[in-house]
A and B are shown apart, each in its own frame.
Chain A
Amino acid sequence: MSTATYTLPTPTKGFTRGLSIFATEIRYEFLRALRTRAFSLATIGFPAMFYILFGLLMNRGEHLGGVLVAKYMLGGYAVFGALGASIFGIGIGVSMDLSAGWLELKRASPMPPLAYVLSKCCSAIGFSLIIVTVLTLMGISFGHVHLTLGEFASIAAIAAAGAVPFSCLGLFMAFTVPPSAAGGVANLVYLPMSYLSGLWVPLQFLPHALQVIAPVFPTYHLAQLMYRSLGAQVPGATVGHWFGLLGFTLVMIGLAWIAFRRREQNS
């Protein structure tokens, strides 16, 4: 037993070192995602393009739920952006790390597994914040949107919070969908879910049946929180929407965990 050469770090030293592992992991993951242009341009560009089309060019000057369409739609497309950043960043990102064996190498290292998950999640939050900022600037510049600092702070916070349940969904997808199908399945979740929860065309204008099933989706609840923060009248209590998101998050964490365990047992 020659453990003499190896000295365990003191608890406080270990704590700060642990923090720095998390910070470095998050910083590099965000940097990596930003530098990957195919990802960063599409993730930011897609909601921006849709917002220009449906929020700024069409329905100019009209009102919805008591606010300008351009302002109302800002909320919907911010949710759309957060969903895209999370599903593509994590659903596909983790799936690729898995199939390439990179995740295995990371797991064999002393990296805390939580650092990996958090770095992906924080990167999605970062992208959600960038998207909400870009959309807001576009709305103010080209759509005559008036936004108080408080309103902006609250939609930014909601976008950031929304990246969490969507990241859990992405994680669940990464552990269940084969890597070759990840791209297709991601789009199959991303686009219909956005449409069905009224992010593109407000729910009021969709068939009644779709309005009834919309509350199944986390995007619906997040969008209602956005609209309300922007001063629009929306159905349902704020607390109910937060609970909807929390419930979805917990279900996804549970499913992701089960999927992960099943992979483990087969490897």
Chain B
Amino acid sequence: MPTLVEMPETLTAAHTAAETVASLTNVTKRYANGVLALDNLSLTLRRGEIVALLGPNGAGKSTAVKLLMGLSSPTSGSVSIFNADPRHTAARLRTGVMLQIGKAPEMLRVREHIQLFRGYYPNPMAYADILKAAGLDGIQDRFFGELSGGQKQRTLFAIALAGDPDLIFLDEPTVGLDIEARRSMWAQIRSLAARGKTVLLTTHYLEEADALAHRIIVINKGKIVCEGTPAEVKSMGAATPTPKQDGSTATPQHGLKIIRCVTTLTPQHLQAMPGVTHIESVNNLTLITSAQPEATLREMLALDQNLHSLEVQCPLLEDAFLALTSDH
């Protein structure tokens, strides 16, 4: 009997309390020149998740990543990787890093670069597996300096995988990759997470964050602006530009959709319809943001027999991002 009772319990425990892999706790970072890069910021990365860190240039993204990599120390607050100081070798042995590199040693071959980094770890990933994962088969004997931009990027990805790390930092991993190579790197990143690895991704391609991340953290001016699944972040972004007249703060609205059509209905009329949060006119097109798109549409179609050119879209992460990080 007891074994039967215990089983479901352990299962649920494993699901809900995913192990914390890395965390920033109340971290403030002020540079010597007085710039406040991070302002009491806290974030947690858990086992097996892909987290995308988004923010405009100068938001504090790279500072946060540098702190997590142990390349910089916080002014106050604490940084922890696998319950250790990120500067400790024990922590570094479990992390892999891909940074945007201006120039790597050009007169070393792809193979030599990978082997050099494999050597740093006691239990590295098998060489053949790295080549396969990074798509470097056939170019392993080329000099780094002879590679194309995409091949260089894939070599740097291979270096990040070399130690078979449990936590991987990827800074703009797919810059310079063609669509096919980008998709294949995405597949690799997903399979890393599926194997229980944690991935922290910084990217300027919001499409990439949308496609890959389990969780998106948007930061601006050293603070977290919002955090959630890509769908949640999009809804929050679409909800922020026009706070409701009653002054209620923006809360995540999951069903948020954008209705585009040509209609004779006036903005005042549309504003009164159920679920409508925002109205915008572009030429003769009307864009209506609604939290209850089905109800809004039913009423619009009933009132305007001539309504045409109808399209219903999900809000784009790009719009949400711009809305969340804009200054007003």
* Chain A positions near chain B (C-beta within 8 angstroms): 1-2, 6, 8-9, 13-14, 17, 20-21, 24-25, 28, 31-32, 35-36, 96, 99-102, 104-105, 107-111, 264-267
B88-113 to A contact mask, C-beta < 8 Å, 1/0: 01101111010111111111100010
> In this assembly, does B77 line the interface, its C-beta being within 8 Å of a C-beta of chain A?
no
Q: What would 20 more interface pairs be, CB under 8 Å, given A32-B105, A108-B71?
A: A2-B19, A14-B122, A32-B107, A32-B108, A35-B107, A35-B143, A36-B106, A36-B107, A96-B103, A100-B104, A101-B100, A102-B105, A104-B99, A105-B99, A109-B97, A109-B120, A264-B72, A266-B32, A267-B31, A267-B72
Interface string of B142-155 (1 = CB under 8 A from A): 01000000000000
A226 to chain B, nearest CB (A): 31
B182 adjacent to chain A (CB < 8 Å): no
Query: What are 16 pairs between A and B in contact, CB < 8 Å?
Result: A8-B90, A14-B122, A17-B122, A20-B119, A28-B108, A28-B116, A35-B143, A100-B104, A102-B102, A104-B71, A105-B97, A108-B71, A109-B163, A265-B32, A266-B31, A267-B71
Q: For the complex, give the distance between the alpha carbons of A62 and B27 in Å.
A: 72
Q: Is the CB of B32 within 8 A of A102?
A: no
B33 CB-CB contact with A under 8 Å: yes
Residue of A nearest to B107 (CB): A35
Q: Whole-angstrom distance between the alpha carbons of A110 and B87 in the complex? A: 9
Tell me if B's interface is mostly helix, strand, loop or mixed: loop
Cα distance, A220 to B59, chains bound together (Å): 52
CB contact between B95 and one of A31, A99, A108 (< 8 Å): that residue:
A108
Question: What is the minimal beta-carbon distance from A8 to any residue of chain B, in angstroms?
Answer: 8
Which residues of chain A are within 8 angstroms of B107 by Cβ–Cβ distance? 31-32, 35-36
Minimal beta-carbon separation of B309 from chain A (angstroms): 49
- A110 engages B89 (CB within 8 Å): yes
Per a CB cutoff under 8 Å, which of A17, A24, A36, A107 touches B71? Answer: A107
Which single member of B66, B72, B101, B115 contacts A24 (CB below 8 Å)?
B115
Is B69 part of the contact surface with A, judged by Cβ < 8 Å?
yes
Proximity string of chain B (226-244) to chain A, C-beta cutoff 8 Å, 1 when within and 0 when not: 0000000000000000000
CB distance from B249 to the nearest CB of A (A): 37
Please report the C-alpha to C-alpha distance between residue A185 and residue B180 in the assembled complex, in whole angstroms.
Answer: 45
Question: Which B residues fall within an 8 A CB radius of A?
Answer: 19, 31-33, 66, 69-72, 83, 89-90, 92-95, 97, 99-108, 112, 115-117, 119-122, 143, 156, 159, 163, 169
Partner of A105, one of B101, B106, B108, B112: B101
Contacts of B105 in A (CB 8 A): 32, 102
Tell me which residues across on chain A come within 8 A of B115, comparing CB atoms.
Answer: 24
Enumerate chain B residues within 8 angstroms of A1, measured Cβ to Cβ.
Answer: 83
Given contacts A100-B103, A101-B100, A102-B103, are A31 and B108 in contact (CB under 8 A)? yes
User: Who on chain A is nearest to B113 by CB?
Assistant: A28
B116 pairs with A108, CB closer than 8 A: no
Q: Known A6-B94, A102-B105; judge A110-B99 contact (CB<8 A).
A: no
The answer to whether A110 and B120 touch (CB under 8 A), given A100-B102, A267-B66, is yes
Picked from B32, B66, B121, B156, the residue with its CB within 8 Å of the CB of A110 is B121
Please measure, in the bound complex, the distance between the C-alpha atom of A100 and the C-alpha atom of B102, giving whole angstroms. Answer: 4
Instruction: List, in ascending order, chain A residues with CB within 8 A of B33's CB.
Output: 266
Q: A28-B108, A31-B108 are known contacts. Are A102 and B116 too (CB-CB below 8 A)?
A: no
For the complex, what is the distance from the CA of A140 to the CA of B117, rounded to whole Å? 43
Q: Determine which of A25, A108, A267 lies in contact with B97 in the assembled complex, contact meaning CB atoms within 8 Å.
A: A108
CA distance A264 to B73 in the complex (A): 9
6 smallest beta-carbon distances between A and B, as pairs: A100-B102, A35-B107, A100-B103, A110-B92, A108-B97, A108-B69
CA distance A105 to B169 in the complex (A): 11
Chain A residues, CB < 8 A from B103: 96, 100, 102
Contact (A110, B104) CB under 8 Å given A28-B112, A265-B32: no
B99, B106, B117: the one contacting A101 at CB < 8 Å is B99
Are A109 and B71 touching (Cβ within 8 A)? no
Q: From residue B12, how far is it (CB to closest CB) to chain A in Å?
A: 17
B255 to chain A minimum Cβ distance, whole angstroms, is 38
Looking at the assembled complex, report how far the CB atom of B63 sits from the nearest CB atom of chain A, in whole angstroms: 9
Distance in angstroms between the alpha carbons of A102 and B102 in the assembled complex: 8
**How far is it, in angstroms, between the C-alpha of A38 and the C-alpha of B264 when the chains are bound?**
72
When distances are taken between beta carbons in the complex, the residues of chain B under 8 Å from A102 are 101-105
A36 to B, closest residue via Cβ: B107
Q: Using known A-B contacts A20-B119, A24-B115, A24-B119, determine if residue A109 contacts B66 with beta carbons closer than 8 Å.
A: no
| A20–B169 CA distance with the chains assembled, in angstroms | 26
Residue of A nearest to B112 (CB): A28
The docked-state distance in angstroms from the alpha carbon of A20 to that of B100 is 28
Closest CB of chain A to B168's CB: distance in Å?
A: 11
Q: Is the CB of B92 within 8 A of A109?
A: yes
Query: Considering the chains assembled together, what is the distance between the CA atoms of A264 and B121 in angstroms?
Result: 25
Query: Is the CB–CB distance between B120 and A108 below 8 Å?
Result: no
CA distance A9 to B163 in the complex (A): 14
A108 B92 Cβ-Cβ under 8 A: yes
- Residues of A near B117 (CB, < 8 A) are 109
How distant is B97 from chain A, measured CB to nearest CB, in Å?
4
Question: For the complex, what is the distance from the CA of A138 to the CA of B117, rounded to whole Å?
Answer: 40
Docked Cα-Cα span, A236 to B256, in Å, equals: 86
CB neighbours of A104 from chain B (8 A): 71, 99
Known: A108-B92, A108-B97. A9 touches B122 (CB 8 A): yes
Q: Whole-angstrom distance from the CB of B38 to the nearest CB of chain A?
A: 14
- Taken together as a complex, chains A and B put the C-alpha atoms of A116 and B156 apart, in Å, by 18
- Please report the C-alpha to C-alpha distance between residue A101 and residue B171 in the assembled complex, in whole angstroms: 12
